[in-house]
A and B are shown apart, each in its own frame.
Chain A
Amino acid sequence: MKQHDHQLRPNRRTVLKGAASAAALGTSGALGTFSDAAFAQANLRAQITQIPGIGKGAPTDADWQKVGELCLGPTKASVKEGEFKGVELSFMGLNNQNLHNLLFRGFLKPWEAYTGAKISWIDLAQADYNPRLQQAIATGTVDFDILEMGAPFEGDVCGKGLASEMPDWVKKQIDYDDYVDYLKPPVGTWGGKTYRVTIDGDCHNFNYRTDVFADAALAKAWKDAGNSGEWGVPRTWQQVQAVTKFLKGKKIKNQNAFGYLDAPKPWGGFGFYFLASRASAYAKHPEDKAWLFDVDTMKPRINNPAWVRAIQDVIDALPFEPADQLNADPNTTGFQQFLAGIGSMIPWWGDIGQVAKASDTSVIGDIVGFDILPGSEDVYNSKTGKWDKLGSGPNFAPNCAYLGWGVYVMARVNGDEKKHKAAWSAAAHLGGKDLSLWMVMYPSGFQAHRLSHFQFDEWTAAGYDKKYITSYLNSQLASYNHPNRAVEPRIPGIFQYYSIAEDELTKIFAGKVDAQTGANNIAAAWEKLTDQIGRERQIGLYKASLGA
């Protein structure tokens, strides 16, 4: 359905907001210099973030189309109406949680109507994504012009010359400089060329139940049990373990209370991030950029004392988690457990905060708080082989898992000027500054990734509670900007490493092998894989990804 006939009337909130802004500008004497364009953009952002409005139900296809149409301004400035008539583009992306590609369809419908181009869609489930992409690359059967892809795959795609370099006009249209620092080059680039329109910023933050940690009865029981310190949100993994063990058998709102939720079931490689989030504070030393492999040799660190300790933590915590936790993957922990009111702490990407507040599927609503991942009282130093206690206190190392999704245009459009411009125009529309604000505000699969996304007032104007959104955005900003953040290695085949690890971890968690033996097995398999893919090349790429 096309959305040409909708009329967005300003509501009371936007009118008042606009009037207040105008008054403020008038009194400051700046009105004369205030550009019409900036005012229009501010007004547009206020308009789109009201569609449908936070707390007014989950957005629908009609909403996505409305937002897509309202954000067509930059496209209209660079493309004539009907300029791409006859151009057919193929777009490959995900359909997780009925988001990603489903939103893109809605956003791009008005773009298709205006430009005349047609887009066909290749929808993939998360677990199908990696094999589909790898097969297309290896067999030379790239059958898509635009690709939704995470930065970890840049080695596989950009490194093999399969992507199209971003034209300067796109950089200008999407306001490339607005990206948060950690998503600026080298992320999105390869060999000095820029390839990616960033539409997501990824890190695991710590999601916790505010009601659980403010519950007076639990606080009393915590004290009565002889625990040290006040009852509150854990700041270290040691505290997470203690709280998880304490909560077993307790009640909250007449329901069984649980602490931390692990995700032991494999999830196509993506489940490994959840162990990595437990491990980063132990394994990522502030004086060492590497934490997964030795930077000069690619020798795995997965079997060093830091990672083994994280694995052991999972083993120790599982008996205190729900009885079927062994069969829970991250999708289960996030969407079927935590958002449904089971468990009180999980690491996840920003989806939890969006869905909790802005989706009908959430049961818990806004009783969620956010922080960077917990730290550790000590951190393993791989160079000395000893555990260090830092003078500054616990070691924090937010896990910048996956580095976010981006939109890439494939090199196969390069030979056709019209198609090339059309593909980049579509990518630029999806990654547009204003459209991106809507995407990170509502359930989309994407989280804040631009400096302009951290204007808290825009969020509260859309209907977010100030305390809630401040906690949510600060947890992300603090992770992105953390000096000791643990950054995803952008090396080819990274999900093969993760998938191998998942298989062995499930054996460890089921009690078939102990943590150290299992970790040794993972390390041995990773060594073999590195040799198979090409060690020297992997070392080079790993170094580049760490900026070492």
Chain B
Amino acid sequence: MQNSIPVSDDRHHKPASPPASAGRKAAGRALVMLASLGFLLVLLIQLLHATGTIATGFSDWRPILIAYLLWAIAFGIGQVLTRGERGQRALFLLPAVFFTVAVVIFPTIFGIYIASLDWNLSSIEGPRFSGFDNIRGMLNDAYYWNALGNMIFYGVAVLGEYAIAFGLALLLSAEIRGRKFFRVVFLLPMMLSPVAVSWMIGKSLLEYRFGPAATLARYLGWENPAFFASPWMARLSIQAMDAWVSIPFIMIILLAGLQAMPREVQEAAKVDGANGWQSFWHVTFPIMLPVSITVLIIRLIFKLKLADIVINVTAGGPGGATDTISSFIYRVYRDRSNVGYGTALAMVYLLMIIVLLTVLLRLSKRWTQKVV
């Protein structure tokens, strides 16, 4: 990082404020202390009330949120009072930190707590602490592992989507007639909601009785064009629908990469006598590798969340052939009100995704470094 150059213009330069006086510092510390104690007291009262230890308390948790906001404001003021200009600078960062704590860190920790509960919404006793029972249950849950197996299929299929998208991106980057028109047309599926796609394609176009695709298939000689009746056919049909929605996204990123690629490199390859395939494989593809890996990882993240199309079209069937982790968690949580177990499944899946992506990012760093 470069050192900042001293600014000589008086209009932009403000001398550092004098160090905070001892009185201000003490006032700042006292404010933070008081605010923290107040917040903790309110939190403690509500926790004791919620657990039935004391009768006094709030009817809901909204006052805790207000107390948190007040504490955050007091903390910011305290920073300014105790640290002077450094405290002022911290004010630029603190709102983001507090926001992240409130909507990411706290829910994650709370989620881990929920994951350790035996909590069925129909149980009159309510939630009970069960330690690692949910994780042990998951290890023996054939539905979870089946869904994970399906996720491997869906994950690998991203490579196929990438190959098609690359082909389309090459096509659209070439000097073809109607290029702009095709760019817009190819992007249309991405603009559709997967739920709309489920109904328009899964439940209408591919419908066995009256769907145009089924009618065409019959015309072409497929006697019983049932797209969701056999496990592999159903899996492929779901994958095809999801690919149709997502390929334009991969394509547009790759297209941007192709257009940013210097023409001279391609021309040099031509001058050296490389044919089309050699030019692509030895020049274009390696140069596009950083873009490719970025788009593949983003697409994989999206793919690991696949649920909507599955829920709407097959409900995970036939026999779990199309089930995904997300659609399974959805059933556990929604249809069976099994909050503790559903949260545990989601937490483990989150952990798996973090590990997988960390490994992939490290590997991709190595690959791209080699290329560059």
| Residues of A with C-beta under 8 A to B338 | 496, 532
> Considering the chains assembled together, what is the distance between the CA atoms of A267 and B319 in angstroms?
14
Q: Which residues of B contact A499 (CB under 8 A)?
A: 331, 335-336
CA distance A352 to B125 in the complex (A): 41
Q: Which range holds the interface residue count of chain B? A: 35 or more
Out of A134, A500, A512, which one reaches B122, CB within 8 Å?
Answer: A134
User: Does A137 belong to the interface (CB within 8 Å)?
Assistant: yes
B118 within 8 A of A: yes
With both chains docked as a complex, state the minimum distance between the C-beta of B10 and any C-beta of chain A, in angstroms.
58
B118 touches A532 (CB 8 A): yes
Q: How far is the CA of A492 from the CA of B125 in the complex (A)?
A: 13
Tell me the minimal C-beta distance from A490 to chain B in angstroms.
13
Q: Does B57 contact A (CB under 8 A)?
A: no
* Residue A481 interfacial (CB < 8 Å): no
Q: Could you say which residues of chain A place their CB within 8 Å of the CB of B231?
A: 510
In the complex, which residue of chain A has the Cβ closest to the Cβ of B214?
A324
Nearest opposing residue in chain A for B317, CB measure:
A506
Those of A260-277 within 8 Å (CB) of chain B: 264-269
In the complex, residue of chain B having the shortest beta-carbon distance to the beta carbon of A511 = B319
CB–CB B226/A510 < 8 A: no
Partner-binding segment picked from A17-25, A62-70, A178-186, A325-333: A325-333
| Inter-chain contact B209/A342, CB cutoff 8 Å | yes
Q: Are A326 and B228 in contact (CB under 8 A)?
A: yes
Chain A residues with Cβ below 8 Å from B121 are 134-135, 137-138
Question: Which residues of the partner chain B approach A266 to less than 8 Å between Cβ atoms?
Answer: 315-317, 331
What is the minimal beta-carbon distance from B224 to any residue of chain A, in angstroms? 4
Chain A residues near B208 (CB, 8 Å)?
Answer: 322-324, 327
Shortest CB distance B239–A (Å):
16
The answer on a CB contact under 8 Å between A534 and B124 is yes
Q: A328 to nearest B CB, angstroms?
A: 9
Contact B337 A269 (CB under 8 A): no
Main secondary structure of the interface of B (DSSP, over half): loop
- Within 220-239 of B, Cβ neighbours of A (below 8 Å) are at 224-229, 231, 234
CA–CA, A512 to B120, complex, Å? Answer: 29
Contact check, A327 vs B229: say whether CB atoms are below 8 A apart: yes
Closest to A528 in B: B137
Tell me the smallest distance from the CB of B4 to a CB of chain A, in Å: 52
Q: For B124, list chain A residues within 8 Å (CB).
A: 159-160, 492, 533-534, 537
Pair B226/A327 contact, Cβ less than 8 Å: yes
When distances are taken between beta carbons in the complex, the residues of chain A under 8 Å from B120 are: 493, 496, 529, 532-533
Q: Is A495 an interface residue (CB 8 A)?
A: yes
Partner of B315, one of A137, A265, A533: A265
B209–A533 CB distance below 8 A: no
Closest CB of chain B to A532's CB: distance in Å? Answer: 5
**When chains A and B are docked, how far (Å) is the Cα of A329 from the Cα of B143?**
20
Cβ < 8 Å to B, chain A residues 475-520: 492-493, 495-496, 499-500, 503, 506-512
CA distance A342 to B318 in the complex (A): 21
Most buried by B among A127, A324, A342: A324
A496 & B318 in contact (Cβ 8 Å cutoff)? no
Q: Which of B197-245 contact A (CB under 8 A)?
A: 208-209, 224-229, 231, 234
Interface residues of A in 447-501 (CB under 8 A from B): 492-493, 495-496, 499-500
- Determine if B366 is an interface residue (Cβ-Cβ < 8 Å): no
Within 8 Å CB of A313, what residues of B? none
Chain B residues within 8 Å of A159, by CB: 124
**A134-156 CB contacts (< 8 Å) to partner B:** 134-135, 137-138, 156
| Chain A interface size range | 35 or more
In the complex, chain A residues 278-335 whose Cβ is within 8 Å of any chain B Cβ: 322-327, 329
Which of A134, A269, A510 sits near B319, CB closer than 8 Å? A510
- A-side contacts of B337, CB under 8 Å: 130-131, 134-135, 138, 493, 496
Question: What's the A-B contact tally at a CB cutoff of 8 Å?
Answer: 123
Q: Once the chains bind, are B318 and A510 in contact (CB under 8 Å)?
A: yes
Q: B285 at interface (Cβ–Cβ under 8 A)?
A: no
Q: How far is the CB of A323 from chain B (nearest CB, A)?
A: 4
> In the complex the two chains form, is B335's CB within 8 Å of A496's CB?
yes
Residue pair B318, A503 in contact (C-beta under 8 Å)? no
Chain A interface SS verdict (over half): helix
Point out the residues of chain A lying under 8 angstroms from B334, CB to CB: 127-128, 130-131
Q: Complex formed: what's the CA distance from A500 to B118 in Å?
A: 17
A14 within 8 A of B: no
In the complex, what's the smallest C-beta–C-beta distance from B217 to chain A, in angstroms? Answer: 11
B280 within 8 A of A: no
Cα-based distance from A137 to B124 in the complex (angstroms):
11
Q: Is the CB of A503 within 8 A of B228?
A: no
- Chain A window 507-548, contacts with chain B (Cβ cutoff 8 Å), 1 for yes, 0 for no: 111111000000000000000010011100100000000000
Residue B321 lies at the interface, judged by CB distance under 8 Å to chain A: yes
B231 to chain A, nearest CB (A): 6
Given that A131-B335, A134-B122, A496-B335 are contacting pairs, would A324 and B319 also be in contact in the complex, using a CB cutoff of 8 Å? no
Q: Which residue of B lies closest to A135 (CB)?
A: B121
CB distance from B192 to the nearest CB of A (A): 21
- For the complex formed, measure the closest distance between the CB of A521 and the CB atoms of chain B, giving whole angstroms: 8
Quick one: which of A268, A325, A495, A537 contacts B229, CB cutoff 8 A? A325
B123 in contact (CB, < 8 A): yes
Query: How far does the alpha carbon of A324 sit from the alpha carbon of B211 in the complex, in Å?
Result: 12
> B333 within 8 Å of A by Cβ?
yes
- Give the residues from 86 to 136 in chain B that come closer than 8 angstroms, CB to CB, to chain A: 118, 120-126
Does B314 touch A at the CB level, under 8 Å? yes
A512, chain B: closest CB distance, angstroms: 4
Question: With an 8 A cutoff between CB atoms, is B320 at the interface?
Answer: yes
Would B335 and A130 count as touching, CB distance under 8 A?
Answer: yes
Q: Which residues of A contact B339 (CB under 8 A)?
A: 138
Chain A residues near B333 (CB-CB < 8 A): 131
**Given A134-B122, A323-B224, A532-B123: A496 touches B336 (CB 8 Å cut-off):** yes
CB distance from A158 to the nearest CB of B (A): 13
Q: Is there a chain B Cβ closer than 8 Å to A336's Cβ? A: yes
Interface residues of B in 155-176 (CB under 8 A from A): none
Q: CB distance B331 to A327 under 8 Å?
A: no
Task: Compute how far the CA of A537 lies from the CA of B224 in the bound complex, rounded to whole angstroms.
Answer: 50
Picked from A135, A492, A506, the residue with its CB within 8 Å of the CB of B318 is: A506
CB of A489, distance to nearest CB on chain B (Å): 13
In the complex, the answer to whether B318 meets A327 with C-beta atoms within 8 Å is yes
Minimum distance in angstroms from B346 CB to a CB of chain A: 15
Q: Please give, as numbers and ranges, the residues of chain A lying within 8 Å of B209 by CB-CB distance.
A: 322, 336-337, 340, 342
B residues near A138, Cβ cutoff 8 Å: 121-122, 126, 337, 339
Complex alpha-carbon distance, A131 and B226, angstroms: 31
A137 to B225, CA, bound (A): 44
- C-alpha spacing A131/B337, complex, angstroms: 6
Per-residue 0/1 for B315-329: is the Cβ within 8 Å of any A Cβ (1 yes, 0 no)? 111111100000000
B343 to chain A, nearest CB (A): 13
Residues of B within 8 A of A337 (CB): 209
A97 to chain B, nearest CB (A): 15
> What are the residues of chain B within 8 A of A533 when measuring CB–CB?
120, 122-124
Q: Specify which chain A residues have a CB less than 8 angstroms from the CB of B316 in the assembled complex.
A: 266, 503, 506
Q: Which residues of A contact B229 (CB under 8 A)?
A: 323-327
Min distance, Cβ B354 to any Cβ of chain A, angstroms? 28
8 additional contacts (CB under 8 A) given A326-B226, A492-B124: A138-B339, A266-B317, A268-B335, A325-B229, A340-B209, A506-B318, A510-B317, A510-B321
Would you give 24 A-B contacts (Cβ < 8 Å), ordered by A? A128-B334, A138-B339, A264-B318, A266-B317, A266-B331, A269-B335, A323-B224, A324-B228, A324-B229, A326-B228, A327-B229, A327-B314, A327-B318, A492-B122, A495-B335, A496-B122, A496-B335, A499-B336, A503-B320, A507-B320, A509-B318, A533-B124, A534-B124, A537-B124
Which residues of A are interface residues toward B (Cβ below 8 A)? 127-128, 130-131, 134-135, 137-138, 156, 159-160, 264-269, 322-327, 329, 336-337, 340, 342, 492-493, 495-496, 499-500, 503, 506-512, 529, 532-534, 537
Top 7 nearest A-B pairs (CB, nearest first) are A510-B319, A493-B122, A323-B224, A324-B226, A324-B208, A499-B335, A138-B121
